[in-house]
Amino acid sequence: MELRGRWGLVTGAAKRIGRSIALALAGRGLNVIVHYNASDDAAAATVREIEALGVRALALPADLGRGDDVARLAREAEARSGGVDV
């Protein structure tokens, strides 16, 4: 699958494994929505690292244990990216 120009949402992407996955996908050309719960600074740093790879990124917070937050995350991700592909 060609990733260049598409958008993907990576949960827990501010730190650890999620961050590594987000950076790997960005390295293949995917624009990345960086989901995080409370790690504002780490999410912002991950966004900067992704953008340095030449693709777009944005950070969106949500508590995945709350259904209303999950629904809001999905709506906002769709609205801000124009459509989530991955």
Domain residues of the chain, as ranges? 7-81
Beta strands in the chain (DSSP E): 7-10, 31-36, 57-61
Rg of the chain over all Cα atoms, to the nearest angstrom: 12
Report residues of the chain scoring pLDDT below 70. none
Place of tokens 């906002």: 76
pTM summary value: 0.94
Model pLDDT, residue 1: 79
Model pLDDT, residue 65: 97
Exposure string over 30-44, b if 16+ CB within 10 A, otherwise e: bbbbbbbeebeebbe
CATH number at 7-81: 3.40.50.720
Average pLDDT, the chain: 97
